[in-house]
């Protein structure tokens, strides 16, 4: 029986840039940063209060996973902001919005009251978008 999720993948355009974004701007911790050979890097980060969920920052490389054309298409789709890979949570949406904005994170929607709660939307350095909500008090 499935008990929990322990890995999830986010496709990124550049792993060095993604490392800087997720670690230095979002405040995530590096779980594993392993070289699997020349040009092959396994990089995972974890949110501050979920050290057992590894978010894999996956490069979009031509190879077994993507043929050349598919890799180019995938990079374009990521750059255009096609993918929303998840919803993050914080303790205080207004404070987190101010802090991340001060650090240069691009928000496409400021904290807004929706029928389901308060939400903001931001993009990572590749173009992927995420919802950011406030934990229920």
Question: Which residues contact another protein (rule: CB under 8 A)?
Answer: 7, 32-37, 40, 42, 56, 61, 63-65, 91-92, 94-95, 98-99, 102
The residue among 27 and 81 lying less far from another protein, judged by its C-beta, is 27
Cross-sheet strand order for the sheet of 84-90? 84-90, 129-134, 117-123, 106-114
Q: How far is the CB of 57 from another protein (least distance, A)?
A: 12
Residue 129, φ and ψ in degrees, nearest 5:
-110, 155
CA 82 to chain centre: 13
CA dist., res. 90 & res. 47, Å (int)? 11
Four-residue CA torsion sign, 30, 33, 98, 88: negative
The residue among 60 and 124 lying less far from another protein, judged by its C-beta, is 60
Q: How far is the CB of 110 from another protein (least distance, A)?
A: 9
The residue among 31 and 123 lying less far from another protein, judged by its C-beta, is 31
The residue among 35 and 73 lying less far from another protein, judged by its C-beta, is 35
Q: How far is the CB of 43 from another protein (least distance, A)?
A: 10
The DSSP 8-state label assigned to residue 31 in this structure reads E
Q: How far is the CB of 42 from another protein (least distance, A)?
A: 5
């Amino acid at each position: 029986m499935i008990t929990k999720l322990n890995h999830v993948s986010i496709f990124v355009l550049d792993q060095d840039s993604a490392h800087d974004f997720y670690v230095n701007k979002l405040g995530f911790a590096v779980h594993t940063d392993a070289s699997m050979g020349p040009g092959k890097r396994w990089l995972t980060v974890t949110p501050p209060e979920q050290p057992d969920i590894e978010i894999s920052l996956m490069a979009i490389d031509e190879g077994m996973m993507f043929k050349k054309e598919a890799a180019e298409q995938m990079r374009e789709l990521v750059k255009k902001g096609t993918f929303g890979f998840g919803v993050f949570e914080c303790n205080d949406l207004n404070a987190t919005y101010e802090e991340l904005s001060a650090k240069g994170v691009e928000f496409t929607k400021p904290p807004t009251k929706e029928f389901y709660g308060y939400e903001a939307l931001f993009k990572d350095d590749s173009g992927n978008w995420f919802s950011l909500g406030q934990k229920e008090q």
